Structure 1
Amino acid sequence: MRPKHVVIVFAVSFLAGTNLAQAQTATGTMGVGAEVNRNCTLSAENLNFGNLSVDTTNTTSVVVTLACNGVTTVTTVLVGMGENAAPATQRNMKLGTGTDVVPYTLHVLEAGGADIATEGAVTLVKVGTTNTYQVTLYGRSQPSTDYAKGTYSDAVLLTAVYAP
């Protein structure tokens, strides 16, 4: 055999073996999906008056936030009277289990203005292009030397009204 023929035969057999060793492939598809439920989360920090003054009006504020998923229109938050309302139109913070109370009012204007009424509707404002809505509530209590010493509290129910 001539040397040129040996090289050609070796090269052909090497290439033929390489083709036999190539990997095979198969293809398919995988579905991907999710469901978006229309819901909102309503939150607010505690409205904390701190230490009450006996000679000046006490004021504080809190931001109420409504974060929504899949909701297109949010209009209001209903602000309840609180657990210690007495009479039904007067919000009160109560001292523990006793009968002592500190009356307070809620407003949507920092300067005060009209009180938020019983189950009063407060308009929310959309934050930028997000699905988050906010309103600032302002609290006010009058000074008095008649308040008994201690820690007073109340809980106000907030209810969001939105259209899915």
Structure 2
Amino acid sequence: MNSRSAPSLAAGMLVAAVGLAQAQTATGEMGVSAEVARTCTLSAEPLAFGTLSVTEVTNGSALVTLECNGVSTVTTILVGMGANADPPTTQRNLAAGIDDRVPYTLHELEAGGADIATDGAVTLVQVGTTNTYTATLYGKIQPSPAYPMGTYADTVILTANYAP
């Protein structure tokens, strides 16, 4: 072998060895999926009247919020009568103990107007372009010196019907 061909041969072997040492590749696929279930959460601030007046109407209000994932077509909620209604479909009452009652009304307008009836529908307003809807419920208690002393409460069921 002549002295000129030795470096050429060595360079050729080096190129061949580098080609064999290169990393090999393999490809595959990965599936990606998700499911969107239509769900909504309905919540309300407490409607706290505070200390009642014996000479003036006592007012209160509470914000009701419905938050949905995905687009919703919910435009109303139903407002129940409350746990202490007497009779069950006509008069909402705050109760303290077994016999003590303070009647109250719920309204969709701050100025009052008609009482929200049994399972009465209240219109929700969409907040901007979000999937959040709100309504404010207004409550009124007429003045009376006859209310017995005590701490009064009631629970009103709110219902939103939506398509899943």
* TM-score normalized with structure 2 length: 0.88
In the TM superposition, residue 153 of structure 1 has moved relative to its aligned partner by 0.6
AA of the residue aligned to 1:139: G
Deviations 1:70-95 (A, max 9, x none): 44311211111101011231110100
CA distance in structure 1 between the partners assigned to 2:161 and 2:102 by the alignment: 30
Contact 2:38 2:163 in 1 (8 A): no
SS in 2 for 1:162: coil
1:55 aligns with 2:47: no
Match for residue 93 of structure 2?
92
Alignment of 1:5-84 (within 5 A): 5-84=5-84
Give the % identical residues: 64
Specify which structure has the higher proportion of strand: 1
Could you tell me which amino acid in structure 1 is paired with residue 162 of structure 2? Y
Structure 2 gap ranges (5+): none
Q: Could you say what the CA RMSD is over the residues aligned between the two structures, in angstroms?
A: 1.9
Q: How does 1:142-153 map to 2 (within 5 A)?
A: 142-153=142-153
**Structure 1: tracts of 5 or more residues without a match:** none
Look up the equivalent residue of 1:113 and give its one-letter code: G
Question: 1:116 maps to which residue?
Answer: 116
Which residue type is aligned with residue 36 of structure 1? Answer: V
Moved more, 77-86 or 109-118: 109-118
Do the aligned partners of 1:105 and 1:115 also contact (CA within 8 Å) in 2?
yes
TM, length-normalised to structure 1 = 0.88
Which SS does the other structure have where 2:74 is aligned?
strand
Say if 1:71 and 1:163, in contact at 8 Å, map to a contact too.
no
Deviations 1:81-135 (A, max 9, x none): 101011231110100x321011111111111111111211111111111111111
